[in-house]
């Protein structure tokens, strides 16, 4: 199965080609919903089969001795110029397999869900074509055995994100249009890519290769200056902040919610946005060699986490809350990576993929049942109308809130513990406050949606449960959100090798771990106490949220009225978009138009050319007057000339 790994890339590509080229024909040729079914089945099956292949490759790899678990499957030479040799090859190792399982597994469920969600949409075939194209690109991103193939996937997922955010290209979104949101996502990502590109160039300059195995093994052994490592790491991290929506490039992700909800679940929660985390994890040795940058990564992650969580507290659009929640959770992942806990960051990628995909799909189910209404203030009491959606959403909420026993608890706890052990108390504290906010806004969301009074208009809105094609994926994800954490139990309970997830990934990070001085002497008691504290705090936040939004809604109003300024600041997302618009977008646009084009180009450069032309024209007009055509005038000039020449001759004798 390892040797067949290229099929996991190829199959979605084939699905894309079939649906992309013939989707419209299939739909028109078949009666009623048959066309949709065929398109949906093609789209889902390609991903489903890919998943099975990945599973096969996973067990095959698991059966191998640890030192043989990293395999390369080469296809052909892509680029070869001078010393540069880039192969189209896939690296099958613990890390890429883990990511591939998440992408194809969760991806498959979301494809199936989309059959129900996109039912009746005129762009049904186009949607599935794009989704398949996305899986194709994402698989290249995680399986590529070198930076260039990774970058191919990296840009490819960006393109699919662009296409899918703007999927309903003739709709409005907030103050603008969906296509504006799509363009924003692509451009902001490109800013990150600029950093990524420079990182690649410096890697090539330093290590003379762009192949992972070569670069990473050289990075572990070559005497390279720390400043060089630092520069590479910071460049790569700029790339990661773009793709994974971290400060300062997070602004595109909330707007990405303009796309259909399954897209938000797949691309903007479970898979694509974790690409940055994956990349940092893949190049862990480079980051580990640059301690300063590690600290920057951790701090950026932490600040992003708390900033986004605080915005999430007051948003009223169900998808927007989840979007900021995603930004915040991604911050956790970078916090983990920055603390050197790469395995914990990938662990959180996985659990987050389960519960956040579930939350988005659940939200989609709610939106579906509420006739496209997204404002949670206009929901309420939906529990009885949508029991399966409610139950699964509830499980996901418990998981993300960090309730013990569910997947989110284990991964978040591991991150918080690492923050404490390697960063210090402040890191833990800020992380903990973020966790409390998370628990609060999630239960606020849950309460306003499913509990309490029904605040919607019964004449126009008839809430209903979604069909099984949508709820079955929810149930499977709910199951995973519960049990997903048990492969990564805390070492404090299960001993040094009891954390299966960490032991599995350990060889990937071994070079990095050798470079990092790690884990001071912290007692088990400390860890257990912190864990207990975090559980207690999370539970109290949950209690508080339910209490406020179920029983005493006036408390929320009083608080927001009392802290009006702060409330507005949060509601308007700290005015970051407005600040960027005023400080970056407008100056560049106005400057380009007024200064560069109309002034420099038209007035100065072209003006000089035209000026020269008219100067010649005018002076020729003057000189032309000498050509009078009157012979005697010529004779006079001629004689004067001869006279001067003679005079000069005489004088020079």
Partner 1 sequence: MINSEILTYLLLTPIISSVLVLFFKNEQVKLIRWFGIASSLLAFVISLVAYSQFDQTNPLFQLIHQAVWIKSLNVSYFVGVDGISMLLILLTTFLTPLTLLSTWKAIEKNVKMFTFSMLFLEAGMLGVFMALDVFLFYIFWEAMLIPMYFIIGIWGGERRIYASIKFFIFTMFGSLLMLVAIIWLAVYSSSVTGFFTTNLIDLYKVGPTVPHQVQAWMFGAFFLSFAIKVPLFPLHTWLPDAHVEAPTAGSVILAGVLLKMGTYGLVRFCLPLFPQSAVAYAPAISVLAVIGIIYGALVSMVQTDMKKLVAYSSVSHLGFVVLGIFAMTIESVQGAVIQMINHGLSTGALFLLVGVAYERTHRRDIAFYGGIAKLVPIYSTFLMIAMLSSVGLPGLNGFIGEFLILLGSYKSATLGSTWFTVFAASGVIFAAVYLLWMYQRVVFGKVTNHELEHELTDMNKREILILVPIFVFVLWIGIYPNTFLKMTELSVQTVLQQVSAYSVNILK
> Least distance to partner 1 from the beta carbon of 131, Å?
17
- For residue 509, CA distances in Å to 59, 159, 217 come to 21, 31, 12
> Least distance to partner 1 from the beta carbon of 206, Å?
10
Nearer to partner 1, 589 or 640 (CB): 589
Instruction: Tell me the residue length of the chain.
Output: 653
Nearer to partner 1, 86 or 309 (CB): 86
> Least distance to partner 1 from the beta carbon of 267, Å?
17
> Least distance to partner 1 from the beta carbon of 596, Å?
5
Asked whether 535 and 413 are in contact (CB, 8 A), the reply is: no
Nearer to partner 1, 597 or 648 (CB): 597
> Least distance to partner 1 from the beta carbon of 584, Å?
11
> Least distance to partner 1 from the beta carbon of 354, Å?
30
Residues 6+ apart with CB under 8 A from 333: 244, 274, 277, 301, 345, 348, 349, 352, 415
Host H or E run for residue 87: strand 84-92
Residue 247, SS3? coil
Closest among 96, 50, 49, 48 to 72, alpha carbons compared:
96
Which parts of this chain interact with partner 1 (CB under 8 A)? 76-84, 148, 151-152, 154-156, 159, 162, 166, 169-170, 177-180, 182-183, 186-187, 190-191, 193-194, 197-198, 200-202, 204-205, 588-589, 591-593, 596-597, 600-601, 605-606, 609, 613
Nearer to partner 1, 166 or 340 (CB): 166
> Least distance to partner 1 from the beta carbon of 456, Å?
28
Closest among 84, 190, 89, 150 to 282, alpha carbons compared:
150
> Least distance to partner 1 from the beta carbon of 268, Å?
18
DSSP code string of 91-154: EESHHHHHHHHHHHHHHHHHHHHHHHHTTT-TTHHHHHHHHHHHHHHHHHHHHBSBHHHHHHHH
Tokens of 220: 């572990």
Residue with tokens 């998808």: 319
Nearer to partner 1, 160 or 474 (CB): 160
Nearer to partner 1, 199 or 511 (CB): 199
Q: How far apart are CA 237 and CA 616, in angstroms?
A: 56
For residue 466, the 8-state DSSP code is P
Over 550-591, what HEC string results?
A: HHCHHHHHHHHHHCHHHHHHHHCHHHHHHHHHHHHHHHHHHH
Residues 6+ apart with CB under 8 A from 558: none
Residues 6+ apart with CB under 8 A from 442: 325, 397, 400, 401, 545
Nearer to partner 1, 510 or 593 (CB): 593
Nearer to partner 1, 60 or 177 (CB): 177
Nearer to partner 1, 170 or 457 (CB): 170
Host H or E run for residue 73: strand 71-81
> Least distance to partner 1 from the beta carbon of 35, Å?
17
Q: How far apart are CA 247 and CA 561, in angstroms?
A: 29
CB neighbours of residue 247 within 10 Å? 20
Pairing, β 71-81 against β 84-92: antiparallel
Nearer to partner 1, 173 or 410 (CB): 173
> Least distance to partner 1 from the beta carbon of 288, Å?
24
Nearer to partner 1, 141 or 293 (CB): 141
> Least distance to partner 1 from the beta carbon of 608, Å?
9
């Amino acid at each position: 199965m390892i040797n067949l790994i290229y099929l996991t890339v190829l199959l979605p590509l084939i699905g894309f080609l079939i649906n992309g080229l013939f989707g419209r024909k299939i739909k028109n040729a078949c009666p009623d919903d048959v066309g949709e079914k065929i398109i949906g089945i093609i789209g889902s099956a390609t991903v489903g089969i890919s998943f099975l292949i990945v599973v096969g490759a996973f067990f095959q790899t698991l059966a191998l001795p640890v030192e043989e678990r990293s395999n390369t499957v080469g296809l052909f030479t892509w680029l070869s110029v001078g010393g540069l040799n880039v192969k189209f090859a896939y690296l099958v190792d613990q890390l890429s397999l883990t990511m591939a399982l998440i992408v194809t597994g969760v991806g498959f469920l979301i494809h199936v869900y989309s059959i129900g969600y996109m039912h009746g949409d005129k762009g049904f075939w186009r949607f599935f074509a794009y989704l398949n194209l996305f899986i194709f690109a994402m698989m290249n991103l995680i399986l590529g055995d070198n930076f260039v193939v990774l970058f191919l996937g990296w840009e490819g997922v960006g393109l699919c994100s662009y296409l899918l955010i703007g999927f309903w290209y003739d709709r409005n979104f907030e103050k603008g249009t969906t296509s504006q949101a799509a363009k924003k996502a692509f451009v902001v990502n490109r800013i990150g890519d600029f950093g990524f590109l420079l990182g690649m160039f410096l890697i090539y300059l330093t290590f003379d290769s762009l192949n992972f195995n070569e670069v990473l093994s050289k990075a572990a052994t070559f005497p390279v200056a720390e400043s060089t490592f630092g520069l590479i790491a910071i460049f790569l991290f700029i790339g990661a902040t773009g793709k994974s929506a971290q400060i300062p490039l997070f602004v595109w992700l909330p707007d990405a919610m303009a796309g259909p909800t399954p897209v938000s679940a797949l691309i903007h929660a479970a898979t694509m946005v974790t690409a940055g985390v994956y990349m940092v994890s893949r190049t862990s040795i480079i980051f580990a060699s640059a301690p300063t940058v590690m600290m920057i990564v951790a701090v950026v992650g932490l600040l992003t986490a708390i900033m986004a969580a605080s915005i999430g507290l007051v948003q009223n659009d169900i998808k927007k809350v989840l979007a900021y929640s995603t930004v915040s959770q991604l911050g956790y992942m970078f916090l983990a990576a920055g603390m050197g806990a790469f395995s914990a960051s990938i662990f959180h990628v996985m659990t987050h993929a389960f519960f956040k995909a579930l939350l988005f799909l659940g939200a989609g189910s709610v939106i579906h049942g509420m006739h496209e209404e997204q404002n949670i203030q206009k929901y309420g009491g939906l529990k009885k109308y949508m029991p399966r959606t409610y139950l699964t959403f509830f499980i996901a909420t418990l998981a993300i809130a960090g309730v013990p026993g569910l997947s989110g608890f284990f991964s978040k706890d591991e991150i918080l513990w690492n923050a404490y052990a390697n960063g210090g108390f402040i890191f833990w504290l800020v992380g903990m406050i973020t966790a409390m906010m998370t628990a609060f806004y999630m239960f606020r969301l849950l309460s306003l949606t499913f509990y309490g009074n029904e605040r919607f208009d019964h004449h126009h809105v008839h809430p209903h449960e979604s069909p099984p094609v949508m709820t079955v994926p929810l149930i499977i994800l709910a199951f995973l959100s519960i049990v997903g954490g048990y492969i990564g139990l805390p070492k404090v309970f299960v001993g040094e090798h009891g954390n299966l997830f960490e032991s599995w990934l350990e060889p990937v990070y071994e070079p990095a771990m050798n470079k990092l001085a790690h884990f001071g002497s912290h007692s088990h008691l400390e860890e257990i106490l912190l864990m207990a504290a975090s559980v207690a705090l999370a539970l109290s936040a949950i209690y508080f949220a339910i209490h406020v939004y179920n029983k005493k809604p006036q408390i929320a109003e009083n608080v927001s009225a009392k802290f009006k300024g702060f409330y507005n600041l949060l509601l308007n997302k700290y005015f970051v978009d407005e600040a960027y618009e005023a400080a970056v977008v407008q100056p560049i646009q106005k400057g380009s138009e007024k200064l560069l084009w109309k002034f420099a180009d038209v007035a100065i450069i072209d003006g000089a050319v035209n000026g020269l032309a008219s100067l010649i024209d005018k002076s020729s007009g003057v000189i032309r007057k000498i050509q009078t055509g009157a012979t005697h005038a010529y004779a006079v000039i001629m004689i004067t000339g001869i006279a001067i020449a003679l005079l000069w001759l005489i004088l020079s004798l």
